Amino acid sequence: MGRAFEYRKASKLKRWGMMSNLYPKLGKVITMAAKEGGSDPESNTRLRTAIMNAKAQNMPKDNIEKAIKRATAKDAANFAEVNYEAKGPHGVLLWIECATDNNTRTFANVRMVINKSGGQLQQSGAFDFMFSRKAVIEFDLKDDMDLEEIELELIDAGLEELEEEEGVVLVVGEYTSFNNLCKTLEDMKVEIKEAKLERIANTPAEFTDEQREEIDEFIGKVEEDEDVQTVFTNMA
């Protein structure tokens, strides 16, 4: 099993089920996508994948529709994507992705949580060469699928790595290939389970089980902030 599959299994996904504010976070992504590229999922790949990912987390249809409508509301907030880099317990590296309509508020809140928990914010760009931004797509392997054929088609679309484990296929490519990879799978009638842009550590670090528990607790506190969308780490 490759590092991308291992990283994804140990990523923030395992904590999403415990997030009380998960739907508002997913809704914000949908609103941003609709505002940027229009409210029609058929012509807006980013919105289509945002809706798909929300459905994968069992977000109600009404919530999804309301999030799309908010993009065209007169009083709609102008959200922007902001990233922060930090060191946490035991030297773990954190890449924190946020969506906010108030940079000052978000920075103050994130810094306060990190400082209180014994972490430290780093200068912007400090971890640029420690994480790679990748397109990561997941789908279930069905009996009638030819995985070799799918792989050959995806290579032309920008595939870097394809892995299968227990009926789940993970597709990894450069982030610039995200749309091409999604479209190729859709054209082949492959039902995408999840599709995201993720930060994968170039050199994953090993931690003990006890250390990982402390790190997960630390990350959970950071993720409680409504503006924090995703936290990636260099945990192996």
CATH number at residue 30: 1.10.10.200
Q: How confident is the model at residue 1, as a pLDDT?
A: 44
Q: 168: domain CATH number?
A: 3.30.70.980
How many structural domains are present in the chain?
3
Residue 75 lies in a domain: no
Whether residue 183 lies inside any domain: the answer is yes
Q: 156 by DSSP, 3-state: which?
A: helix
Residue 196 shares a structural domain with residue 216: no
Q: Residue 118's pLDDT is what?
A: 87
Look at residues 70, 88, 114 and tell me which one is the last residue of a structural domain.
70
> Do 141 and 38 fall into the same domain?
no
Query: Is residue 59 a part of any domain in this protein?
Result: yes
What pLDDT, on the 0 to 100 scale, is given for residue 74?
Answer: 81
Distance CA(4)–CA(17), nearest Å, equals: 21
Contacts of 197 (CB under 8 A, 6+ apart): 133, 134, 135, 136, 175, 178
pLDDT given at position 57: 87
- Do 136 and 26 reside in the same domain of the chain? no
Residue 144 lies in a domain: yes
Task: For the chain of 236 residues, list the mean pLDDT of each consecutive stretch of 10.
Answer: 54 54 91 94 92 91 95 86 96 96 96 93 95 95 95 97 94 95 95 93 95 93 92 93
Which of 70, 91, 112 marks a domain boundary?
70
Specify which residues 165 forms β-bridges with.
Answer: 168
| Same domain membership, residue 223 and residue 111 | yes
> What pTM was computed for the model?
0.86
Q: Where are the alpha helices (DSSP H) in the chain?
A: 3-9, 13-16, 22-37, 45-56, 61-70, 103-116, 147-157, 178-187, 209-223
**Residue 202 has what pLDDT?**
94
Token pair 């792989």: residue: 151
* Structural domain boundaries, residue 63: 3-70
Q: Does a structural domain hold residue 116?
A: yes
